[in-house]
């Protein structure tokens, strides 16, 4: 990823497509999965998604759509 001051969040998300990411939502909910798509509202689609509890896998979901309004952070 280009680390200069002109890098934008959507540039980073584009570079993260088809890679595993960790997503934290409001309410301390966490999901991990392969980032397949996102839009301008930061709604995201994860494949091979699973919820985490205390950093450990809890429930497998397959494909999920996470609403951008609920996302606090996305991490590689």
Cα 49 from chain centre: 10
Fold classification of 9-75 is SH3 type barrels. (2.30.30)
How much is the pLDDT for 1? 46
Mean pLDDT within 51-65: 94
DSSP H or E run through 15:
helix 9-16
74 neighbors 31 (Cβ within 8 angstroms): no
How much is the pLDDT for 4? 55
Q: Per-domain residue ranges for the chain? A: 9-75
User: What residue has token string 């509890």?
Assistant: 53
| Model confidence pLDDT, tens digit, residues 2-42 | 455 558 888 999 999 999 999 999 999 999 999 999 999 99
pTM for this model (two decimals): 0.86
71 neighbors 23 (Cβ within 8 angstroms): yes
């Amino acid at each position: 990823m280009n680390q200069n001051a002109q890098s934008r969040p959507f540039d980073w998300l584009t570079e993260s497509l088809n890679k595993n990411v960790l997503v934290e939502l409001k309410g301390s909910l966490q999901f991990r999965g392969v980032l397949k798509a996102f839009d301008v509202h930061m709604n995201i689609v994860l494949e091979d998604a699973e919820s985490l509890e205390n950093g450990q896998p809890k429930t497998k979901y397959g494909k999920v759509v996470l609403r951008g309004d609920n996302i606090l952070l996305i991490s590689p």
